A and B are shown apart, each in its own frame.
Chain A
């Protein structure tokens, strides 16, 4: 843990060398998700609700997903840029150091400019909580926390999976965007609006419904099932197979000729 903070310290010092770039990128990040937000506002100015959810409820869902995604992107960036680590040979360096590979990949990069997105998610969430009439209880506060944590876990799993695939194909990686960027993009609405089939897909295959749909139903009072509150914890289990696949890929790793 101490070593991780050392790494973070180094990264911060490196990034501070490029303040202007950092600032611009953060603003850009903000703008990207802000346009998504705007398009939702536009849609809801034509239609008042979708599948029984009103705008402020949808906004809770969107901000939880965005928050989880930007936290993951910020701290697990090493997996996001993993193909670059392979290409540049940095992975070779990681492998000749006496520490766990996952840890080193994790510590190798951090992108604080994602704070632009995170900030927006926080503002949206606060706004949504004010405009939405949720009957707050202690359980519901826990639910919100668990939703965010579970979201980080699921996205982390997806990022690790993405990194694992880059051992086998670099060019073909684009298809993983369906799961990573796609989950962020389409997770802005409760996944049930895409139909029964997609709900099943997002429950059992790419389990984002575990943190953005079921506990969300409990949160806004559409369901009384208390178990839904705990479902995000299952998101942590999702990391296990992803990690196993990463280990498998590492054994097949063939480095780049130098």
Chain B
């Protein structure tokens, strides 16, 4: 739009939204398109098998709509107890361990050596899926909920440790400095200068993790670490979709309950 444009006939087209340069835009979009085409082509579907499966799919949906809580009630009950106890104990243990690790992984209060040790513990715990960790714990400690408990506690450490460390790094330094200025020791500094600032969020995050741990407890049973996942695995592998539907509905119900009550608790602590 240089000097003295004509009053009429000025064209307008919308400028590109994401990538301004024309060539880069073509390369990125073209590349994405080619990748999608290649990816689609690797999916080789046995349509016969899928068609056969549709009938089973209908049975699953029926099972979901008319769940059967009774015929496997003892298994479901046992799995549920294992899952719930595993969830609670592992969250509590995980939170207790993650607090010192989170403090150690906060750059603004921890000495460098401790900082790196704590950060690497967090990194290891966060990298692998719970299921892979569970496989190893099952090999080491035998089948059953104890291995599941260890898995969930270990994952909780990485999750909470990281978020807690970030919270501590974000605190209002002026408050901590004021406490330090009174001649407080390290533990007193944590207690008066840091804890009041991060406590409400720590509680909130712990409740989040409780919810996640319950959901994960339903999965690690598939590899032998106890809990309701084992029950589910058996039900699905025997094509008992009505029992599987019952288990899934129980899981959904408990997650909804946990979400509802945790939002309530969080409002209450803040």
Do A and B interact with each other, yes or no? no
